Amino acid sequence: MVTSSVVNTYPLSSYSFGTKEPKMEKDTSVADRLARMKLNYMKEGMRTSVEAILLVQEHNHPHILLLQIGNTFCKLPGGRLKPGENEVEGLKRKLSSKLAANSPNMQPNWQIGECVAVWWRPNFETIMYPYCPPHISKPKECKKLYVVHLSEREYFAVPKNLKLLAVPLFELYDNVQRYGPVISTIPQQLSRFQFNMIPA
Amino acid sequence: MVTSSVVNTYPLSSYSFGTKEPKMEKDTSVADRLARMKLNYMKEGMRTSVEAILLVQEHNHPHILLLQIGNTFCKLPGGRLKPGENEVEGLKRKLSSKLAANSPNMQPNWQIGECVAVWWRPNFETIMYPYCPPHISKPKECKKLYVVHLSEREYFAVPKNLKLLAVPLFELYDNVQRYGPVISTIPQQLSRFQFNMIPA
Protein backbone atom coordinates (compact mmCIF):
# COMPACT_ATOMS: atom_id res chain seq x y z
CA MET A 1 0.00 0.00 0.00
CA VAL A 2 1.10 3.53 -0.82
CA THR A 3 0.20 6.16 1.75
CA SER A 4 1.19 9.50 0.34
CA SER A 5 -0.79 12.69 0.18
CA VAL A 6 0.99 13.51 -3.08
CA VAL A 7 -0.53 11.84 -6.14
CA ASN A 8 1.35 11.86 -9.43
CA THR A 9 -1.18 12.31 -12.21
CA TYR A 10 -0.08 11.53 -15.77
CA PRO A 11 -1.79 12.73 -18.94
CA LEU A 12 -4.60 10.57 -20.26
CA SER A 13 -2.50 10.24 -23.44
CA SER A 14 0.14 8.26 -21.47
CA TYR A 15 -2.22 5.33 -21.31
CA SER A 16 -3.40 3.01 -24.03
CA PHE A 17 -6.76 1.35 -24.22
CA GLY A 18 -8.11 -1.77 -25.86
CA THR A 19 -11.19 -3.89 -25.42
CA LYS A 20 -11.98 -7.34 -24.07
CA GLU A 21 -15.02 -9.62 -23.69
CA PRO A 22 -18.11 -7.99 -22.15
CA LYS A 23 -18.57 -8.07 -18.37
CA MET A 24 -22.29 -8.06 -17.98
CA GLU A 25 -24.01 -6.75 -14.87
CA LYS A 26 -25.23 -9.66 -12.74
CA ASP A 27 -28.68 -8.10 -12.35
CA THR A 28 -31.00 -6.56 -14.87
CA SER A 29 -32.96 -4.43 -12.38
CA VAL A 30 -32.48 -2.68 -9.04
CA ALA A 31 -35.04 -5.07 -7.48
CA ASP A 32 -33.01 -8.10 -8.69
CA ARG A 33 -29.86 -6.55 -7.31
CA LEU A 34 -31.35 -5.98 -3.87
CA ALA A 35 -32.82 -9.49 -3.83
CA ARG A 36 -29.42 -11.02 -4.67
CA MET A 37 -27.83 -8.82 -1.98
CA LYS A 38 -30.31 -10.17 0.59
CA LEU A 39 -29.62 -13.76 -0.44
CA ASN A 40 -25.85 -13.25 -0.18
CA TYR A 41 -26.27 -11.52 3.19
CA MET A 42 -28.08 -14.57 4.54
CA LYS A 43 -25.22 -16.80 3.36
CA GLU A 44 -22.18 -14.61 4.07
CA GLY A 45 -23.18 -11.68 6.31
CA MET A 46 -22.36 -8.05 5.57
CA ARG A 47 -21.13 -7.36 2.07
CA THR A 48 -17.83 -5.49 1.81
CA SER A 49 -17.07 -3.83 -1.47
CA VAL A 50 -14.01 -1.91 -2.61
CA GLU A 51 -13.77 0.64 -5.39
CA ALA A 52 -10.87 2.49 -7.00
CA ILE A 53 -10.32 6.14 -7.74
CA LEU A 54 -7.93 6.10 -10.71
CA LEU A 55 -6.56 9.55 -11.52
CA VAL A 56 -5.21 11.04 -14.72
CA GLN A 57 -4.81 14.65 -15.77
CA GLU A 58 -5.90 16.73 -18.74
CA HIS A 59 -5.17 20.47 -19.01
CA ASN A 60 -3.56 20.26 -15.55
CA HIS A 61 -6.83 19.32 -13.86
CA PRO A 62 -7.39 15.92 -12.20
CA HIS A 63 -9.78 13.52 -13.95
CA ILE A 64 -11.22 10.27 -12.61
CA LEU A 65 -11.69 7.11 -14.66
CA LEU A 66 -15.31 5.93 -14.59
CA LEU A 67 -16.94 2.95 -16.27
CA GLN A 68 -20.11 3.90 -18.12
CA ILE A 69 -22.87 1.34 -18.64
CA GLY A 70 -25.25 2.23 -21.45
CA ASN A 71 -25.56 5.97 -21.92
CA THR A 72 -26.12 7.19 -18.39
CA PHE A 73 -25.04 5.18 -15.36
CA CYS A 74 -21.41 5.54 -14.27
CA LYS A 75 -19.55 3.50 -11.68
CA LEU A 76 -16.09 3.23 -10.19
CA PRO A 77 -14.12 0.08 -11.04
CA GLY A 78 -14.21 -2.39 -8.16
CA GLY A 79 -16.64 -4.82 -6.62
CA ARG A 80 -17.51 -7.20 -3.84
CA LEU A 81 -14.86 -8.94 -1.77
CA LYS A 82 -15.01 -12.66 -1.17
CA PRO A 83 -15.72 -13.51 2.50
CA GLY A 84 -12.51 -12.87 4.46
CA GLU A 85 -10.61 -11.50 1.47
CA ASN A 86 -7.99 -8.83 2.10
CA GLU A 87 -9.21 -5.42 0.91
CA VAL A 88 -6.05 -4.44 -0.97
CA GLU A 89 -5.67 -7.82 -2.68
CA GLY A 90 -9.38 -7.95 -3.44
CA LEU A 91 -9.31 -4.51 -5.02
CA LYS A 92 -6.36 -5.55 -7.24
CA ARG A 93 -8.28 -8.66 -8.29
CA LYS A 94 -11.37 -6.61 -9.13
CA LEU A 95 -9.35 -3.98 -11.03
CA SER A 96 -7.69 -6.66 -13.14
CA SER A 97 -11.03 -8.30 -13.84
CA LYS A 98 -12.57 -4.99 -14.92
CA LEU A 99 -9.67 -3.20 -16.59
CA ALA A 100 -6.74 -5.49 -17.39
CA ALA A 101 -5.97 -7.66 -20.39
CA ASN A 102 -6.46 -11.37 -19.75
CA SER A 103 -2.75 -12.16 -20.05
CA PRO A 104 -1.03 -12.34 -16.64
CA ASN A 105 1.98 -10.56 -18.22
CA MET A 106 -0.08 -7.49 -19.02
CA GLN A 107 -1.45 -6.55 -15.61
CA PRO A 108 -1.15 -2.88 -14.68
CA ASN A 109 0.88 -2.08 -11.59
CA TRP A 110 -2.05 -1.37 -9.25
CA GLN A 111 -0.56 0.65 -6.38
CA ILE A 112 -3.35 0.84 -3.84
CA GLY A 113 -3.21 4.06 -1.82
CA GLU A 114 -5.28 5.48 0.99
CA CYS A 115 -8.87 4.71 1.80
CA VAL A 116 -10.62 8.05 1.26
CA ALA A 117 -14.26 7.24 1.98
CA VAL A 118 -16.43 4.59 3.59
CA TRP A 119 -20.16 4.29 2.82
CA TRP A 120 -22.72 2.18 4.68
CA ARG A 121 -25.93 0.57 3.48
CA PRO A 122 -28.23 0.17 6.51
CA ASN A 123 -30.98 -1.81 4.72
CA PHE A 124 -31.55 -3.77 1.53
CA GLU A 125 -32.23 -0.48 -0.24
CA THR A 126 -30.27 1.74 -2.60
CA ILE A 127 -29.57 4.52 -0.08
CA MET A 128 -26.14 4.65 1.55
CA TYR A 129 -24.64 7.00 4.17
CA PRO A 130 -21.08 8.11 4.92
CA TYR A 131 -21.54 6.83 8.51
CA CYS A 132 -23.36 3.91 10.06
CA PRO A 133 -26.65 5.51 11.12
CA PRO A 134 -27.49 5.42 14.84
CA HIS A 135 -29.55 2.37 15.90
CA ILE A 136 -28.29 0.33 12.94
CA SER A 137 -26.42 -2.58 14.48
CA LYS A 138 -26.37 -4.81 11.39
CA PRO A 139 -25.53 -2.79 8.28
CA LYS A 140 -25.93 -4.72 5.05
CA GLU A 141 -22.94 -3.34 3.15
CA CYS A 142 -19.76 -1.40 3.74
CA LYS A 143 -18.21 0.14 0.64
CA LYS A 144 -14.66 1.54 0.74
CA LEU A 145 -13.11 3.86 -1.82
CA TYR A 146 -9.34 3.80 -2.33
CA VAL A 147 -7.06 6.10 -4.26
CA VAL A 148 -5.03 3.97 -6.68
CA HIS A 149 -1.73 5.37 -7.93
CA LEU A 150 -1.14 4.66 -11.62
CA SER A 151 2.27 4.26 -13.19
CA GLU A 152 3.37 6.46 -16.05
CA ARG A 153 2.33 4.02 -18.79
CA GLU A 154 -0.28 1.28 -18.68
CA TYR A 155 -2.52 -0.69 -21.01
CA PHE A 156 -6.17 -1.02 -20.03
CA ALA A 157 -8.56 -3.54 -21.59
CA VAL A 158 -12.13 -2.30 -21.28
CA PRO A 159 -15.04 -4.79 -21.45
CA LYS A 160 -16.87 -4.28 -24.76
CA ASN A 161 -20.19 -3.44 -23.10
CA LEU A 162 -18.66 -0.59 -21.08
CA LYS A 163 -17.04 2.73 -21.87
CA LEU A 164 -14.13 4.12 -19.84
CA LEU A 165 -14.46 7.88 -19.34
CA ALA A 166 -12.04 10.41 -17.85
CA VAL A 167 -14.27 12.83 -15.97
CA PRO A 168 -12.84 16.08 -14.53
CA LEU A 169 -13.35 16.87 -10.83
CA PHE A 170 -15.20 20.05 -11.76
CA GLU A 171 -17.78 17.96 -13.63
CA LEU A 172 -18.36 15.65 -10.66
CA TYR A 173 -18.55 18.40 -8.04
CA ASP A 174 -22.07 19.32 -6.94
CA ASN A 175 -23.53 16.97 -9.58
CA VAL A 176 -25.43 14.42 -7.51
CA GLN A 177 -28.17 14.19 -10.15
CA ARG A 178 -25.79 12.79 -12.74
CA TYR A 179 -23.26 10.84 -10.65
CA GLY A 180 -25.06 9.97 -7.39
CA PRO A 181 -24.00 10.80 -3.82
CA VAL A 182 -20.87 8.61 -3.72
CA ILE A 183 -19.12 9.72 -6.92
CA SER A 184 -20.24 13.36 -6.79
CA THR A 185 -18.43 13.93 -3.48
CA ILE A 186 -15.10 12.46 -4.59
CA PRO A 187 -13.74 15.99 -5.26
CA GLN A 188 -14.25 16.86 -1.56
CA GLN A 189 -12.60 13.61 -0.48
CA LEU A 190 -9.59 14.27 -2.70
CA SER A 191 -9.28 17.94 -1.78
CA ARG A 192 -6.61 17.28 0.87
CA PHE A 193 -4.32 15.58 -1.68
CA GLN A 194 -1.67 17.42 -3.62
CA PHE A 195 -1.72 16.50 -7.29
CA ASN A 196 1.61 16.45 -9.00
CA MET A 197 0.61 17.03 -12.62
CA ILE A 198 3.15 15.37 -14.90
CA PRO A 199 3.28 16.97 -18.36
CA ALA A 200 2.89 14.88 -21.53
CA MET B 1 0.38 16.79 15.14
CA VAL B 2 -1.57 13.60 15.63
CA THR B 3 -2.06 11.46 12.52
CA SER B 4 -4.32 8.61 13.43
CA SER B 5 -7.36 7.31 11.63
CA VAL B 6 -8.85 6.39 14.99
CA VAL B 7 -10.55 9.28 16.77
CA ASN B 8 -11.54 8.94 20.42
CA THR B 9 -14.86 10.69 20.90
CA TYR B 10 -15.96 11.47 24.44
CA PRO B 11 -19.51 12.25 25.54
CA LEU B 12 -20.56 15.89 25.35
CA SER B 13 -21.17 15.66 29.12
CA SER B 14 -17.40 15.20 29.67
CA TYR B 15 -16.86 18.83 28.79
CA SER B 16 -17.78 21.95 30.69
CA PHE B 17 -18.75 25.25 29.14
CA GLY B 18 -18.66 28.83 30.30
CA THR B 19 -18.83 32.20 28.60
CA LYS B 20 -16.43 35.01 27.86
CA GLU B 21 -16.49 38.45 26.26
CA PRO B 22 -18.17 38.66 22.82
CA LYS B 23 -16.07 38.10 19.68
CA MET B 24 -17.87 40.19 17.13
CA GLU B 25 -17.68 39.44 13.41
CA LYS B 26 -15.38 41.94 11.73
CA ASP B 27 -17.92 42.61 8.97
CA THR B 28 -21.61 43.31 9.13
CA SER B 29 -22.39 42.22 5.55
CA VAL B 30 -21.12 39.82 2.93
CA ALA B 31 -20.18 42.81 0.74
CA ASP B 32 -18.06 44.27 3.58
CA ARG B 33 -16.41 40.91 4.09
CA LEU B 34 -15.45 40.55 0.44
CA ALA B 35 -14.20 44.15 0.32
CA ARG B 36 -11.98 43.55 3.38
CA MET B 37 -10.75 40.31 1.80
CA LYS B 38 -9.75 42.22 -1.34
CA LEU B 39 -7.90 44.86 0.67
CA ASN B 40 -6.02 42.19 2.64
CA TYR B 41 -5.19 40.32 -0.57
CA MET B 42 -3.59 43.45 -2.01
CA LYS B 43 -1.44 43.79 1.13
CA GLU B 44 -0.64 40.14 1.93
CA GLY B 45 -1.53 37.93 -1.02
CA MET B 46 -3.65 34.80 -0.81
CA ARG B 47 -5.52 34.36 2.44
CA THR B 48 -4.97 31.03 4.22
CA SER B 49 -7.53 30.05 6.80
CA VAL B 50 -7.68 27.04 9.08
CA GLU B 51 -10.72 25.56 10.76
CA ALA B 52 -11.22 22.79 13.31
CA ILE B 53 -13.49 19.79 13.38
CA LEU B 54 -13.98 19.11 17.09
CA LEU B 55 -15.74 15.82 17.75
CA VAL B 56 -17.81 14.60 20.67
CA GLN B 57 -20.35 11.78 20.87
CA GLU B 58 -23.94 11.47 21.99
CA HIS B 59 -25.89 8.18 21.78
CA ASN B 60 -22.78 6.63 20.15
CA HIS B 61 -23.00 8.89 17.11
CA PRO B 62 -20.30 11.48 16.30
CA HIS B 63 -21.25 15.15 16.74
CA ILE B 64 -19.32 18.22 15.59
CA LEU B 65 -18.99 21.43 17.58
CA LEU B 66 -20.21 24.44 15.59
CA LEU B 67 -20.39 28.09 16.56
CA GLN B 68 -23.76 29.63 15.82
CA ILE B 69 -24.08 33.35 15.13
CA GLY B 70 -27.60 34.69 15.59
CA ASN B 71 -30.24 32.06 14.91
CA THR B 72 -29.10 30.63 11.61
CA PHE B 73 -25.50 30.87 10.43
CA CYS B 74 -23.09 28.21 11.73
CA LYS B 75 -19.33 28.12 11.37
CA LEU B 76 -16.40 25.98 12.39
CA PRO B 77 -14.02 27.48 14.97
CA GLY B 78 -10.87 28.80 13.29
CA GLY B 79 -9.83 31.77 11.22
CA ARG B 80 -7.25 33.47 9.10
CA LEU B 81 -3.54 32.81 9.54
CA LYS B 82 -1.06 35.66 9.84
CA PRO B 83 1.25 35.88 6.80
CA GLY B 84 3.81 33.08 7.11
CA GLU B 85 2.23 31.59 10.23
CA ASN B 86 2.48 27.82 10.71
CA GLU B 87 -0.90 26.16 10.12
CA VAL B 88 -0.92 23.99 13.23
CA GLU B 89 0.24 26.80 15.52
CA GLY B 90 -2.16 29.23 13.88
CA LEU B 91 -5.09 26.87 14.36
CA LYS B 92 -4.23 26.48 18.06
CA ARG B 93 -4.10 30.27 18.42
CA LYS B 94 -7.47 30.65 16.72
CA LEU B 95 -9.07 27.87 18.77
CA SER B 96 -7.89 29.46 22.00
CA SER B 97 -9.16 32.85 20.89
CA LYS B 98 -12.58 31.42 20.01
CA LEU B 99 -13.09 28.73 22.64
CA ALA B 100 -10.64 28.98 25.55
CA ALA B 101 -10.76 30.90 28.81
CA ASN B 102 -8.47 33.94 28.86
CA SER B 103 -6.18 32.47 31.51
CA PRO B 104 -3.07 30.83 30.01
CA ASN B 105 -3.44 28.05 32.61
CA MET B 106 -6.83 27.02 31.30
CA GLN B 107 -6.06 26.30 27.67
CA PRO B 108 -7.49 23.07 26.28
CA ASN B 109 -4.97 20.56 24.98
CA TRP B 110 -5.55 21.17 21.27
CA GLN B 111 -4.18 18.07 19.52
CA ILE B 112 -4.26 18.95 15.86
CA GLY B 113 -4.86 15.92 13.67
CA GLU B 114 -5.08 15.36 9.94
CA CYS B 115 -6.09 17.87 7.33
CA VAL B 116 -9.31 16.41 5.91
CA ALA B 117 -10.36 18.99 3.35
CA VAL B 118 -9.01 21.94 1.40
CA TRP B 119 -11.30 24.53 -0.19
CA TRP B 120 -10.33 27.22 -2.69
CA ARG B 121 -11.85 30.63 -3.35
CA PRO B 122 -11.04 31.60 -6.96
CA ASN B 123 -12.46 35.13 -6.82
CA PHE B 124 -13.57 37.72 -4.30
CA GLU B 125 -16.91 35.97 -4.11
CA THR B 126 -18.59 33.64 -1.65
CA ILE B 127 -18.30 30.49 -3.78
CA MET B 128 -15.52 28.02 -2.96
CA TYR B 129 -14.49 24.71 -4.57
CA PRO B 130 -12.75 21.59 -3.23
CA TYR B 131 -10.08 22.04 -5.94
CA CYS B 132 -8.41 25.03 -7.56
CA PRO B 133 -10.49 25.45 -10.72
CA PRO B 134 -8.65 25.18 -14.06
CA HIS B 135 -7.35 28.51 -15.42
CA ILE B 136 -7.28 30.05 -11.92
CA SER B 137 -3.64 30.87 -11.30
CA LYS B 138 -4.18 33.27 -8.41
CA PRO B 139 -6.78 31.92 -5.99
CA LYS B 140 -7.84 34.40 -3.32
CA GLU B 141 -8.17 32.03 -0.40
CA CYS B 142 -7.21 28.52 0.64
CA LYS B 143 -9.17 27.14 3.60
CA LYS B 144 -8.00 23.96 5.35
CA LEU B 145 -10.09 21.84 7.71
CA TYR B 146 -8.33 19.81 10.40
CA VAL B 147 -9.59 17.12 12.72
CA VAL B 148 -8.73 18.16 16.28
CA HIS B 149 -8.52 15.44 18.90
CA LEU B 150 -10.02 16.49 22.23
CA SER B 151 -8.88 15.19 25.58
CA GLU B 152 -11.30 13.48 27.92
CA ARG B 153 -12.10 16.61 29.94
CA GLU B 154 -11.86 20.25 28.90
CA TYR B 155 -13.32 23.62 29.76
CA PHE B 156 -14.52 25.77 26.87
CA ALA B 157 -15.30 29.48 27.20
CA VAL B 158 -17.75 30.52 24.50
CA PRO B 159 -17.97 34.20 23.42
CA LYS B 160 -21.26 35.65 24.71
CA ASN B 161 -22.55 36.53 21.24
CA LEU B 162 -22.15 32.95 20.00
CA LYS B 163 -23.70 29.61 20.82
CA LEU B 164 -21.71 26.37 20.72
CA LEU B 165 -23.76 23.52 19.26
CA ALA B 166 -23.03 19.80 19.03
CA VAL B 167 -24.51 18.76 15.70
CA PRO B 168 -24.75 15.07 14.72
CA LEU B 169 -23.25 13.89 11.43
CA PHE B 170 -26.68 12.69 10.26
CA GLU B 171 -27.99 16.26 10.62
CA LEU B 172 -25.14 17.73 8.52
CA TYR B 173 -25.25 15.09 5.78
CA ASP B 174 -27.02 16.18 2.61
CA ASN B 175 -28.06 19.45 4.27
CA VAL B 176 -26.32 22.08 2.14
CA GLN B 177 -29.28 24.46 2.51
CA ARG B 178 -28.75 24.78 6.26
CA TYR B 179 -24.98 24.34 6.64
CA GLY B 180 -23.48 25.31 3.28
CA PRO B 181 -21.22 23.22 1.01
CA VAL B 182 -18.19 23.10 3.34
CA ILE B 183 -19.83 21.95 6.58
CA SER B 184 -22.47 19.72 4.96
CA THR B 185 -19.83 17.46 3.40
CA ILE B 186 -17.85 16.92 6.62
CA PRO B 187 -19.58 13.52 7.14
CA GLN B 188 -18.12 12.30 3.83
CA GLN B 189 -14.68 13.62 4.75
CA LEU B 190 -14.77 11.86 8.11
CA SER B 191 -16.19 8.60 6.75
CA ARG B 192 -12.77 6.94 6.51
CA PHE B 193 -12.07 7.53 10.24
CA GLN B 194 -12.89 5.01 12.88
CA PHE B 195 -14.60 6.61 15.87
CA ASN B 196 -13.81 5.11 19.20
CA MET B 197 -16.89 6.07 21.21
CA ILE B 198 -15.92 6.40 24.85
CA PRO B 199 -18.89 5.88 27.21
CA ALA B 200 -19.78 8.47 29.86
**DSSP sequence for B122-159:** -SSSS--BSS--TT-SS-SEEEEEEEEE--SS-EEEEE
pTM of the model: 0.95
C-beta atoms of A185 and B185 within 8 A? yes
How large is the average pLDDT for residues A146-153?
96
Closest-approach residue (CA) in chain B for A114: B192
How large is the average pLDDT for residues A12-22?
96
How large is the average pLDDT for residues A145-162?
96
Rounded CA-CA distance A28/B116 in Å is: 38
- Please, which pLDDT band fits residue B6 given cuts at 50, 70 and 90? very high
To the nearest whole Å, the CA of B185 is away from the closest chain A CA by 7
pLDDT tens digit string along A156-191? 999 999 999 999 999 999 999 999 999 999 999 999
Nearest Cβ partner for B118 among A134, A181, A192 = A192
- Please, which pLDDT band fits residue A26 given cuts at 50, 70 and 90? confident
Interface test with B, best of A191, A194, A195, A196 (most B CBs within 10 A): A191
- Chains A and B: how many Cβ contacts under 8 Å? 77
C-beta atoms of B117 and A169 within 8 A? no
To the nearest whole Å, the CA of A134 is away from the closest chain B CA by 6
Residue B52 — φ and ψ, nearest 5°?
A: -110, 140
The pLDDT value recorded for residue A4 is 77
To the nearest whole Å, the CA of A115 is away from the closest chain B CA by 7
- Please, which pLDDT band fits residue B106 given cuts at 50, 70 and 90? confident
- Please, which pLDDT band fits residue A72 given cuts at 50, 70 and 90? confident
How large is the average pLDDT for residues B125-148?
96
Are A145 and A116 in contact, with CB atoms under 8 Å apart? Answer: yes
Exposed / middle / buried, residue A123 (Cβ in 10 Å: 0-12, 13-18, 19+): middle
C-beta atoms of B130 and A190 within 8 A? yes
Provide the mean pLDDT of chain A: 95
| Residue percentage of chain A with pLDDT more than 70 | 99
Rounded CA-CA distance A98/B116 in Å is: 30
Provide the mean pLDDT of chain B: 95
To the nearest whole Å, the CA of B193 is away from the closest chain A CA by 8
Using an 8 Å CB-CB cutoff, list residues of chain B that contact chain A. 59-62, 114-119, 129-131, 133-134, 144, 168-170, 173-174, 181, 185, 187-192
pLDDT tens digit string along A28-56? 899 999 999 999 999 999 999 999 999 99
C-beta atoms of A192 and B131 within 8 A? no
On chain A, the residues whose CB falls within 8 A of the CB of B119 are: 191
ipTM, two decimals: 0.94
- Please, which pLDDT band fits residue A200 given cuts at 50, 70 and 90? confident
How large is the average pLDDT for residues B173-180?
96
- Please, which pLDDT band fits residue A70 given cuts at 50, 70 and 90? confident
C-beta atoms of B191 and A134 within 8 A? no
The pLDDT value recorded for residue B70 is 86
